Structure 1
């Protein structure tokens, strides 16, 4: 009988969140278990924080959301369709305050991760995201991220208590900066594992996509920029266009560069990276899929005063680890010509080694829990 795995993760209307949730769910299934995502309604305070961030957007971006609401609604439908087809959820929706004791009888193991579920923006949901509702013997952390390399004083003791709620052999972090923080701040060891999307090679992702048709017929440079297209970014886009690689295309449905007549759902998002000649991004999962599909790319800084400009550690640590830290580039400085190409001969073996170790960690951790609970 297949053992049941309860998965606690983020799966919101965000490409990275949806795809990492799918990747971890699917890998657990491939390992021979029966996973199911625990449907969760975030704390009201978390929702308010997100709304506050929305109202802090520059006026141009805020009004753009209103103008493009029709396209945004189509995109929401694409996310809903993806989750319905690719993921299995619990029938019940759990809130922060509800009784979760029934979950103990439904699942043999609980896995939390990945994405930035341990960042302080979600502190009101930490009870759920640190698996506090279940016994320590059933908990596994696979690649959760703090987003940054520090924890505020007010949350240090609480965070330490929650981290101690995992057996050392079943505590991992997605970012090297997070592994270092756990050691330096809390004196604890943890494993470094890759983001769930990186558990698959480009060949694996091509099989998952199941569509060999190009998203756009002509060669193109892909833009995936949360921080917009203003200032120095505009100059960099112009510069790359002059390189003659291809047209400029953006995933952002509000951009003038957007793919016309295309509703870019999560699978189309992956195809956009697969088919690109070059990638300009400022996001973590933009970096992940650039690496997966072995693209020449640049990750632009977000030092523009926005909230997410504070979460650069998760990207710089990945680039440092792979020996390509220079690919994290100041958005106000034009690119060197050396950025036109990227040699993956050294990078790919590193990624493959990390992928193998990460899958071994996940499988071993699940089997360890199952062995303990059966004795």
Structure 2
């Protein structure tokens, strides 16, 4: 089958890019032709906001000293472009993709031209309203796909939160799109309760693993070994923070002193670190400290002890579901966890693989 994959707009997020790679690689192993639908997000200021936005920013910059740029959108777009340069070689090499799509009209045109047999939306927080403002939730519920010609599947979609972000009228409107899916799975069990609140009950959703967990550690080792990487973390703690705070950095210093390991620290906006290098940092580390969901996932894949520092802003619900699969008590999150018994995770991965196979075949 020819399958399109839709998820959040391209950025330099390691987990998001490895999800694309993992899902496409898994589908290729099944014998399918998979292609990523390349949404290229960009910031812009609507023309009608310019007359009052720029004077306000002028005051914020030169009087109150609270912002650094008046033309924030231009700066943000250039920053993303610069950060993408490090990720782009991986994406171009491992992820077959369409041309860049910058609006809903182009999304419909590209979908029609590709003539996909199926489109899979997911994974990541593609059904979290606050994460999909650029194209809108309806796009991520595949309103641009012809229902008659193309099968619609949602794989391990995430809402990211435990509380509803949609009001009843929004949920009802989107329910018409939800019912057009032939199969739906979510990444966190808490999403099932939200679906019931929204009235999204047919088809009935089930819980599946993040796409990165569909592959074996050998798949990631091959990616690392085929790249030019450095050993930065042997004998060290690898600290990867999406949102650094004084409290998190202080905890890392304490763990470094207690464990007598030096720390190799990096963040999301480390423009010099490739995806392969990021993976190798985890593979070689003695242990990992992170506030990232995928930081935890790859600690488990590479069999490393990890300490999760929490990240409520980005959503902890998905991690709690993962902990259930790992047989880990969430109350133990304040210390390093080394998952050695993976019976439940292996069963969940097998179930998730079967979900995808059945969704595509039936």
Normalised-by-shorter TM-score class: 0.7 to 0.9
Q: Matched residues in 2 for 1:200 and 1:86: separation?
A: 14
Please state whether the residue corresponding to 2:254 is helix, strand or coil. Answer: helix
* CA separation of 1:82 and 1:112: change in aligned 2, threshold 3 A: same
* CA separation of 1:365 and 1:104: change in aligned 2, threshold 3 A: farther
Aligned 8 A contact 1:251 1:269 in 2:
no
Q: 2:142 aligns with which of 131, 141, 154?
A: 131
Q: 2:340 aligns with which of 340, 344, 349?
A: 344
Aligned 8 A contact 1:41 1:96 in 2:
no
Q: How many residues align?
A: 332
Please state whether the residue corresponding to 1:251 is helix, strand or coil. Answer: strand
Q: Matched residues in 1 for 2:104 and 2:94: separation?
A: 25
Q: Matched residues in 1 for 2:45 and 2:303: separation?
A: 36
User: Alpha-carbon deviation of 1:77?
Assistant: 1.2
Q: Matched residues in 2 for 1:71 and 1:282: separation?
A: 23
Q: Which residue matches 1:285? A: 294
* CA separation of 1:40 and 1:342: change in aligned 2, threshold 3 A: closer
Unmatched segments (≥5 aa) in structure 1: 64-68, 330-334, 369-375
* CA separation of 1:328 and 1:115: change in aligned 2, threshold 3 A: farther
| 1:8-33 CA-partner distances (Å, limit 9, x unpaired) | 12332211111101111111111101
Q: Matched residues in 2 for 1:362 and 1:192: separation?
A: 12
**CA RMSD, aligned part only?**
3.5
| 1:174-218 CA-partner distances (Å, limit 9, x unpaired) | 111213322354261212111111111223321232259762264
Q: Which residue matches 1:226? A: 242
| 1:343-368 CA-partner distances (Å, limit 9, x unpaired) | 412xx111111111111111221122
Please state whether the residue corresponding to 1:100 is helix, strand or coil. Answer: helix
Q: Matched residues in 1 for 2:287 and 2:66: separation?
A: 27
Q: Which residue matches 2:317? A: 313
Please state whether the residue corresponding to 2:263 is helix, strand or coil. Answer: strand
* CA separation of 1:328 and 1:178: change in aligned 2, threshold 3 A: farther
Q: Which residue matches 1:9? A: 7
Q: 1:250 aligns with which of 244, 265, 271?
A: 265
Q: 1:361 aligns with which of 349, 355, 359?
A: 355
Q: How does 1:317-332 map to 2 (within 5 A)?
A: 317-326=321-330, 329=333
Q: Matched residues in 2 for 1:23 and 1:144: separation?
A: 15
User: Alpha-carbon deviation of 1:240?
Assistant: 1.0
Aligned 8 A contact 2:233 2:285 in 1:
no
* CA separation of 1:43 and 1:128: change in aligned 2, threshold 3 A: farther
Q: Which residue matches 2:251? A: 236
Unmatched segments (≥5 aa) in structure 2: 48-52, 70-76
TM-score (norm 2): 0.79
Aligned 8 A contact 1:36 1:88 in 2:
yes
Q: Matched residues in 2 for 1:47 and 1:222: separation?
A: 41
TM-score (norm 1): 0.77
Aligned 8 A contact 1:299 1:327 in 2:
no
Q: Matched residues in 1 for 2:207 and 2:321: separation?
A: 11
Aligned 8 A contact 1:316 1:328 in 2:
no
Q: Matched residues in 2 for 1:135 and 1:235: separation?
A: 52
Q: How does 1:35-46 map to 2 (within 5 A)?
A: 35-42=34-41
* CA separation of 1:74 and 1:91: change in aligned 2, threshold 3 A: closer
Aligned 8 A contact 1:23 1:196 in 2:
yes
User: Alpha-carbon deviation of 1:127?
Assistant: 2.6
Q: Matched residues in 2 for 1:141 and 1:46: separation?
A: 32
Q: Matched residues in 1 for 2:311 and 2:46: separation?
A: 23
Aligned 8 A contact 1:281 1:300 in 2:
yes
